Chains A and B, each alone.
Chain A
Amino acid sequence: MGITKKVTVLAVGLGLVTLSACGSSGGDDSGGGSKTVTLVSHSSWAVSKDVLAAFEKQSGYKVRVLEDGDAGEAVNKAILTKDNPQGDVFFGVDNTLLSRALDNGLFQPYEAKGSDMILPEFRVDQGKHRVTPVDTGDICVNYDKAYFSKHKLAPPTSFDDLIKPAYKDLLVTENASTSSPGLGFLLGTAAKYGDEGWQDYWKKLKANGVKVVSGWDQAYNEEFSGSAGGKKAKGDRPLVVSYASSPPAEVIYADPRPTTAPTGVADGTCFRQFEYAGLLSNAKNAEGGKALIDFMLTKTFQGDMPLNMFVYPVVEGAQVPKEFTEFGPAAENPQTMDPAKIADHRDDWVKSWTSLVLR
C-alpha cells in the first residue's frame, strides 16, 4: 500500500508548509523589508528586464510586482486594502478612475523628481501631487485598410462618419460597463456631443448596426477583419474600437514584418487616456516607493514603455521608437474629459448606455 503512505507523508509535509507560510508574515516576503519595494498594478504592466535591473542596481531596492486583475479591479482592491496595503506604489490608475482613487484617500502626496520634465498637457493634481502621470494612450476606432481599398470606400475619420449609411454594419465596439476601451469610446462621444447629445448619437449608431461584444479580446481578435487573430477567425467587421497603438503592434508582432501596417486609425474618433502612479497612503517602504516613482519618470523608463505597454511617454525628450512614429502616431486632437466630471457621470452614463444600446 505505497500510496497511502505517500499520502500520509505528503499530508504531514503539507501541514508544515501551511504553517511556515502562516508564520512567515512580516518578513521580507511581505514587502516589509526595507530593501524590497512592491509595485501593485493591473495586468498590463510590463517593463524590459534590463531596464528594471538597472534601477535595482542603482537604487539598491529589489522590485516585487503584484498584478491585481484589470484596471478597475486593481484600483478597487487597492482602495479596499488601503489601511494595510499590499505594496508601496500603485501604478495604473487612469483618468476614468482617478477621482475614485483620490476621493478614497488612496495616495499620499509626493512630488517626484523630474516632475518638471512632464509635458504641461499631462500635469494633474498640481496642488497636492498625490499622483504622477506616467503614460498616455488613445482609444480610437481602427480600420482594416484592405477592406476599404477593396470596396473603394474612404475609411471614416470622425464620430460623425460612423453614423453615415456608407459605414452601416461595419463597427464593433466593447461593452462600456465591463471594458475600458468600451468605456473610453462612450466617454469620447460624451465629450464630443455633450451630456445630452451622446444618447442621440448612440441611437443613430445603433440604427447603423454597431455590434457590441463583451471585451477587447473578442472585438479585436474575433470580430475585427484587420487584425491577425480576426483574419484567422474570419472576422467581418472592418472597424473596431481599439487603441492608437494597435497598428504598430500588428507590425511588430508579425513575422515577417510588413512594410506598412495592415490597419489604420480613424483620427477623429479618439479619447485620450492617462495613467498615473502614486505612493500608497500606508506604504511600508515609502522611501523605496518614492525611488520607484522617480524611476518611472526617467527617460530610460519612459522610452522603454512604448514597446512593452503600447503607450506613449509623458516627459519631454523621451525617445519614442520609430515603429510608433511610423505606424501609430498619437492622435492629433483627441477628446478629453476632466476626471472629476467622469466621476460624477460615469455610472449614470453607463447605465443609460446599457439600457439604450444593449436592451
Chain B
Amino acid sequence: MDLARPEVVGRRTRSAAARLGLVAVPVAFFAVFFAYPVAAIVARGLNVDGEWRFGRLWDVLGQSDIRHVLWFTTWQALASTALTLLIALPGAYVFARFDFPGKQVLRAVVTVPFVLPTVVVGTAFLALVGRGGLLDELWGVRLDTTVWAILLAHVFFNYAVVVRTVGGLWAQLDPRQEEAARMLGASRWTAWRTVTLPALGPAVAAAALMVFLFTFTSFGVVQILGGPAFSTLEVEIYRQTSEIFDLATAAVLTIVQFLAVGAILAVHAWTVRRRESTLRLVDAGLTARRPRGAGQWALLAGVLAVIVVLLLLPLAVLVQRSLDAPDLGYYRALTEADGGVFLVAPIEAIGNSLQYAVVATLIAVLVGGLAAAALTRRDAGRFVRGFDALLMLPLGVSAVTVGFGFLISLDEPPLDLRSSWILVPLAQALVGVPFVVRTMLPVLRAVDDRLREAAAVLGASPWRVWREIDLPMVRRALLIAAGFAFAVSLGEFGATVFIARPDNPTLPVAVARLLGRAGDLNYGQAMALSTVLMVVCAVALLVLERLRTDRTGEF
C-alpha cells in the first residue's frame, strides 16, 4: 500500500537520517579495529622504503607450493561445508520441531565444541579417529593425518552453527502453512519443498557461508589432525609472519585470502539477492511437539546417535582424562598457584574469561544489533547491502594478521590500546559481530514491514516501532546471537595471547600453557581446565536459553 501522506514522507527523510545513525557505529568499529590494522600490516609488508612492491604478488602466486596451498584450502572448505550441512541439517530440524527431555541442555552441549580451543579439541578428536580410538577399536580404521580427520573435526566444530542459525528460524516457522499446502493436496515432500525450504533458504545459506569461512581459515584443526603435510592459507600466513618473518609474502597471502573471501561473500550476496521473504513467525514454543510415529522417532534417534558419537564422545574423553587421578587430584591442583607458571591459581582464569566474554558480548550485540537493524530496512540502499558483506570479512582474515596489525596501528594516543585490557574483548567482538548479524538478519527481515508501517502511521516513533514490533520478535534471535558471541569469546585464543599476563590468564591461555609443559600433573590439569571450560560454556549457553521466559508481547 502506498503511503504518500505528507507526514509519512517527512518520516521517510527522518528515517534516512536514522539509518545513517544506525550504520555509523558499526562502520566506525570496523574501520578502527579491523580495516585500519589490517591495512597497516599489509602496507608494512608491501611498502619497502616508501616504494610499493606490487610485483611481489606475481612472485608469490607463481610458486607451485603456494598454489597447492590455495587449492587445498578451497576444496577442503567446500567439502567440510557440504558435510556439515548434510550431518547438521537433520539436527536443526529435530531441535526446531521436536520436544524431548533434556533438549535445552543438549542444545547447549552441542555448542560447546564450537568454543573449545583447537589445541584441546585436537587431543579429544584423536581419541575418536586416532590410534586406539573408537573407530580403530570398532573397525580398525585410523583417520588421523588424513583429510577425513580434518573434515570430521570441522563438522564437530560447526555443527552448532547450523543447528542454531537454521534451527532458530525453523522453530519459528508456522507449521500451519505447510499443513495448508498438504490440505490442498500437496505431498509431504512437495509441501516441504515449496513452503518450508524457500523460507529456510536464507538461513541455510547464512549458515553455510559461516561454516565455509570458518573452515576456509582453519588453522589448529589442520595442523593437529592433518599433520604437517596439510597446509591451509591461514597456516601459511602464520608461518610467514611468525616464523619466517617474510612480511611481504604474508601480505600477499593476506590479500589473496581477502579477495577469495570477498568473492565468496559477493557470490553469497548475489544468490540470496532474492529478498528474504516475509514469513509468518510464531512462538517457537508452539511449534515443537513430541515426535509421532516410527519415522519421527527414528529420525530423532538417528540425530541423537550422531550427536553422541561425533560430538559427545570426544568431549567425554577429555572429561575422563581429567578424572584420571585419585580423588579429583587434577581439579584440586587447579586451585593452587605454583608461583612460577601461574602466579595465581589456574582456577582464577575462569573469572578472567567470563569478564572478557561479558564485555565482548555486549560490544558484539551492540555493534551487530545496530548493523542488523540498519540492514533490514526496506529502503536500505546498495551501500548498505554492501556493508552486509563487509561485516563478514573479519571471519575471513587471519588472526595473526589482525593481531600484528593491532600491534603496529593501535599504539599511539588516542588509540593506544596495545596494553589495555579492552583490546581482548574488542578483538573477540570482531569475530562475534558477524554471528550476531547473521543470526538476527533472517529473523528481522522476516518481520512484516506492514506492521512497522502501520505502527508508524499510528504515530509511533521509530524507536517505539522497533521496541514494540521488532524486539519481541527478535528477542530470541538476539539471545541466540548473544550466546554465540559469548561462546566465541570464551574459547577465543588468538587475540587473548596479546595481553595475557601471567597473573591474568584466560581459560584457553591457561590450558595452552599447561599443555606446553611435560609431566603428568600439567597434562591432567590441562584436561581438567578444559572440562571446566566446557562446563562454563554449557552453563552460560543454558542460562541464555532460559532467559527467554518472559512471554509477554509474543504475538
Residues of A within 8 A of B (CB): 1, 3-4, 7, 10-11, 14, 17-18, 21-26, 29-31, 38, 43-50, 64-70, 72-73, 76-77, 79-81, 84, 86, 100, 175, 177-178, 212-218, 220-222, 227-229, 232-236, 242-243, 246, 249-255, 304, 307-310, 347, 350, 355, 358-359
Q: Is the CB of A246 within 8 A of B412?
A: no
Q: Is the CB of A255 within 8 A of B340?
A: no
Can you list 29 A-B pairs with a CB-CB distance of less than 8 A?
A1-B467, A3-B550, A14-B366, A17-B359, A21-B417, A22-B414, A22-B417, A24-B420, A29-B420, A38-B419, A43-B516, A46-B341, A66-B419, A67-B497, A70-B242, A73-B241, A73-B400, A77-B407, A80-B408, A84-B411, A86-B418, A178-B223, A178-B238, A214-B224, A214-B227, A243-B518, A253-B518, A254-B520, A358-B229
Alpha-carbon gap, A175 to B239, bound state (A): 11
Q: Encode contact with A along B412-439: 1 for CB under 8 Å, 0 otherwise.
A: 1111111111100000000000000000
Q: Which of B324, B343, B518 is within 8 Å of A232, CB to CB?
A: B324
Q: Is the CB of A250 within 8 A of B520?
A: yes
Would you give the shortest CB distance from B2 to chain A, in whole angstroms?
32
Q: Name, among B65, B337, B341, B404, the residue most crowded by chain A CB atoms within 10 Å (CB to CB).
A: B341
- CB neighbours (8 Å) of A44 from chain B are 516
Would you give the shortest CB distance from A165 to chain B, in whole angstroms?
23
Q: Which of A72, A81, A215, A242 is within 8 Å of B243, CB to CB?
A: A72
- CB neighbours (8 Å) of B421 from chain A are 21
Q: Is the CB of B416 within 8 A of A254?
A: no
**B485-525 with Cβ < 8 A to chain A:** 497-503, 509, 512-513, 515-524
Q: Which of A7, A69, A72, A249 is within 8 Å of B517, CB to CB?
A: A249
Instruction: Report if B339 contacts A (CB, 8 A).
Output: yes
Instruction: Report if B228 contacts A (CB, 8 A).
Output: yes
Q: Is the CB of B415 within 8 A of A4?
A: no
Q: Is the CB of B242 within 8 A of A310?
A: no
Instruction: Report if B244 contacts A (CB, 8 A).
Output: yes
Q: Name, among B228, B235, B339, B515, the residue most crowded by chain A CB atoms within 10 Å (CB to CB).
A: B228
- CB neighbours (8 Å) of B321 from chain A are 232
Q: Is the CB of B518 within 8 A of A227?
A: yes
CB-CB under 8 A for A178 and B123, given A1-B467, A22-B415, A30-B416: no
The 9 residue pairs across chains A and B that have the minimum distance between CB atoms? A253-B519, A228-B520, A25-B416, A308-B340, A249-B518, A253-B521, A229-B523, A234-B132, A175-B228
Alpha-carbon gap, A43 to B512, bound state (A): 9
Q: Is the CB of B123 within 8 A of A79?
A: no
Q: Is the CB of B407 within 8 A of A218?
A: no
Would you give the shortest CB distance from A42 to chain B, in whole angstroms?
10
Q: Is the CB of A77 within 8 A of B516?
A: no
- CB neighbours (8 Å) of A70 from chain B are 242
Instruction: Report if B83 contacts A (CB, 8 A).
Output: no
- CB neighbours (8 Å) of A216 from chain B are 516
- CB neighbours (8 Å) of A308 from chain B are 340-341
Q: For A174, give the chain B residue with the smallest CB separation.
A: B228
- CB neighbours (8 Å) of B224 from chain A are 213-215, 218
Residues of B within 8 A of A (CB): 44, 65, 119, 122-123, 126-127, 130-132, 223-224, 227-229, 235, 238-239, 241-245, 321, 324-325, 329, 337, 339-341, 343, 359, 362-363, 365-366, 400, 404, 407-408, 411-422, 467, 471, 475, 497-503, 509, 512-513, 515-524, 550
Alpha-carbon gap, A50 to B533, bound state (A): 29
Alpha-carbon gap, A66 to B497, bound state (A): 9
- CB neighbours (8 Å) of A3 from chain B are 475, 550
- CB neighbours (8 Å) of A49 from chain B are 337, 339-340, 343
Would you give the shortest CB distance from A128 to chain B, in whole angstroms?
22
Q: Is the CB of A30 within 8 A of B419?
A: yes
Q: Is the CB of A66 within 8 A of B499?
A: yes
Q: Is the CB of A255 within 8 A of B329?
A: yes
Q: Name, among A45, A46, A254, A304, the residue most crowded by chain B CB atoms within 10 Å (CB to CB).
A: A46
Q: For A346, give the chain B residue with the smallest CB separation.
A: B244
- CB neighbours (8 Å) of B126 from chain A are 222, 233
CB-CB under 8 A for A86 and B419, given A220-B518, A308-B340: yes
Q: Is the CB of B498 within 8 A of A68?
A: yes
Q: Is the CB of B518 within 8 A of A80?
A: no
- CB neighbours (8 Å) of A228 from chain B are 519-520, 523-524
Alpha-carbon gap, A77 to B403, bound state (A): 10
Q: Is the CB of A43 within 8 A of B513?
A: yes
Q: Is the CB of B241 within 8 A of A76?
A: yes
Alpha-carbon gap, A206 to B343, bound state (A): 43
Alpha-carbon gap, A18 to B44, bound state (A): 27
Alpha-carbon gap, A228 to B515, bound state (A): 12
Alpha-carbon gap, A67 to B441, bound state (A): 38
Q: Is the CB of A72 within 8 A of B242?
A: yes
- CB neighbours (8 Å) of B415 from chain A are 22, 25
Q: Is the CB of A84 within 8 A of B127?
A: no
Q: For A48, give the chain B residue with the smallest CB separation.
A: B339
- CB neighbours (8 Å) of B243 from chain A are 72, 177-178
